[in-house]
Protein backbone atom coordinates (compact mmCIF):
# COMPACT_ATOMS: atom_id res chain seq x y z
CA UNK A 1 0.00 0.00 0.00
CA UNK A 2 2.86 2.37 0.72
CA UNK A 3 4.37 1.80 -2.73
CA UNK A 4 0.98 2.57 -4.30
CA UNK A 5 0.87 5.82 -2.34
CA UNK A 6 4.42 6.69 -3.45
CA UNK A 7 3.53 6.06 -7.08
CA UNK A 8 0.42 8.23 -6.72
CA UNK A 9 2.49 11.08 -5.27
CA UNK A 10 5.00 10.71 -8.09
CA UNK A 11 2.13 10.82 -10.57
CA UNK A 12 0.94 14.08 -9.02
CA UNK A 13 4.43 15.55 -9.31
CA UNK A 14 4.76 14.51 -12.96
CA UNK A 15 1.43 16.03 -13.99
CA UNK A 16 2.45 19.39 -12.53
CA UNK A 17 5.07 19.86 -15.26
CA UNK A 18 3.69 22.19 -17.92
CA UNK A 19 6.62 22.65 -20.31
CA UNK A 20 5.59 21.87 -23.87
CA UNK A 21 9.02 20.55 -24.85
CA UNK A 22 8.77 17.91 -22.08
CA UNK A 23 5.20 16.83 -22.93
CA UNK A 24 6.12 13.54 -24.62
CA UNK A 25 8.32 12.50 -21.69
CA UNK A 26 5.58 13.43 -19.21
CA UNK A 27 2.98 11.41 -21.12
CA UNK A 28 5.32 8.40 -21.18
CA UNK A 29 5.93 8.77 -17.44
CA UNK A 30 2.21 9.04 -16.71
CA UNK A 31 1.54 5.92 -18.76
CA UNK A 32 4.29 3.98 -16.96
CA UNK A 33 3.12 5.12 -13.52
CA UNK A 34 -0.50 4.25 -14.23
CA UNK A 35 0.52 0.76 -15.36
CA UNK A 36 2.59 0.33 -12.20
CA UNK A 37 -0.32 1.47 -10.03
CA UNK A 38 -2.65 -0.99 -11.74
CA UNK A 39 -0.28 -3.87 -11.02
CA UNK A 40 0.12 -2.75 -7.39
CA UNK A 41 -3.61 -2.37 -6.85
CA UNK A 42 -4.18 -6.06 -7.52
CA UNK A 43 -1.84 -6.91 -4.63
CA UNK A 44 -3.86 -4.93 -2.08
CA UNK A 45 -6.07 -7.47 -0.34
CA UNK A 46 -7.94 -7.42 2.97
CA UNK A 47 -8.42 -7.92 5.87
CA UNK A 48 -6.84 -4.68 6.95
CA UNK A 49 -5.59 -3.53 10.33
CA UNK A 50 -6.94 -0.22 11.72
CA UNK A 51 -3.67 1.51 10.77
CA UNK A 52 -3.99 0.22 7.21
CA UNK A 53 -7.57 1.44 7.06
CA UNK A 54 -6.50 4.94 8.11
CA UNK A 55 -3.71 4.87 5.54
CA UNK A 56 -6.24 3.70 2.96
CA UNK A 57 -8.44 6.72 3.68
CA UNK A 58 -5.53 9.04 2.96
CA UNK A 59 -4.88 7.12 -0.25
CA UNK A 60 -8.50 7.59 -1.32
CA UNK A 61 -8.16 11.35 -0.77
CA UNK A 62 -4.90 11.29 -2.73
CA UNK A 63 -6.66 9.43 -5.53
CA UNK A 64 -9.09 12.33 -5.90
CA UNK A 65 -6.17 14.72 -6.31
CA UNK A 66 -4.56 12.43 -8.89
CA UNK A 67 -7.78 12.23 -10.89
CA UNK A 68 -8.16 16.01 -10.83
CA UNK A 69 -4.54 16.53 -11.94
CA UNK A 70 -4.87 14.04 -14.80
CA UNK A 71 -8.11 15.67 -15.95
CA UNK A 72 -6.50 19.11 -15.90
CA UNK A 73 -3.48 17.85 -17.85
CA UNK A 74 -5.75 16.22 -20.45
CA UNK A 75 -7.76 19.44 -20.86
CA UNK A 76 -4.56 21.41 -21.34
CA UNK A 77 -3.40 19.02 -24.08
CA UNK A 78 -6.79 19.18 -25.81
CA UNK A 79 -6.81 22.98 -25.75
CA UNK A 80 -3.30 23.06 -27.24
CA UNK A 81 -4.40 20.70 -30.01
CA UNK A 82 -7.46 22.81 -30.83
CA UNK A 83 -5.33 25.98 -30.83
CA UNK A 84 -2.89 24.39 -33.27
CA UNK A 85 -5.75 23.30 -35.53
CA UNK A 86 -7.28 26.78 -35.53
CA UNK A 87 -3.88 28.29 -36.37
CA UNK A 88 -3.61 25.91 -39.29
CA UNK A 89 -7.11 26.82 -40.48
CA UNK A 90 -6.40 30.55 -40.15
CA UNK A 91 -3.23 30.13 -42.19
CA UNK A 92 -5.18 28.33 -44.92
CA UNK A 93 -7.77 31.10 -45.04
CA UNK A 94 -4.98 33.70 -45.24
CA UNK A 95 -3.29 31.90 -48.14
CA UNK A 96 -6.57 31.28 -50.01
CA UNK A 97 -9.19 33.77 -48.72
CA UNK A 98 -11.86 32.72 -51.25
CA UNK A 99 -11.46 29.00 -50.84
CA UNK A 100 -14.66 28.55 -48.82
CA UNK A 101 -16.87 30.93 -50.82
CA UNK A 102 -19.84 29.27 -52.50
CA UNK A 103 -19.80 29.93 -56.25
CA UNK A 104 -23.43 29.08 -57.06
CA UNK A 105 -25.70 32.04 -57.71
CA UNK A 106 -23.01 34.67 -57.62
CA UNK A 107 -23.25 37.67 -59.91
CA UNK A 108 -20.57 38.02 -62.53
CA UNK A 109 -20.06 41.49 -63.93
CA UNK A 110 -19.29 41.18 -67.63
CA UNK A 111 -18.91 44.94 -68.30
CA UNK A 112 -15.47 45.28 -66.80
On whether the CB atoms of residues 102 and 44 are closer than 8 A, the answer is no
Question: Is the pTM of the predicted complex or chain greater than 0.85?
Answer: no
Question: Going residue by residue through the chain (112 aa), what tens digit of pLDDT does each one get?
Answer: 788 889 999 999 998 888 888 888 999 999 999 999 889 888 887 788 888 889 889 988 999 999 999 999 999 999 999 999 999 988 888 888 777 766 666 666 666 5
What are the residue ranges spanned by the domains of the chain?
A: 2-83
Give how far Cα 23 sits from Cα of 28, 49, 65, 68, Å.
Answer: 9, 40, 20, 18
On whether the CB atoms of residues 2 and 57 are closer than 8 A, the answer is no
Amino acid sequence: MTRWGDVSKELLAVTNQFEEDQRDAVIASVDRLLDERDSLQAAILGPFTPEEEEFGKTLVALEGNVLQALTLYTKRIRSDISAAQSKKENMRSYVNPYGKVARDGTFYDTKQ
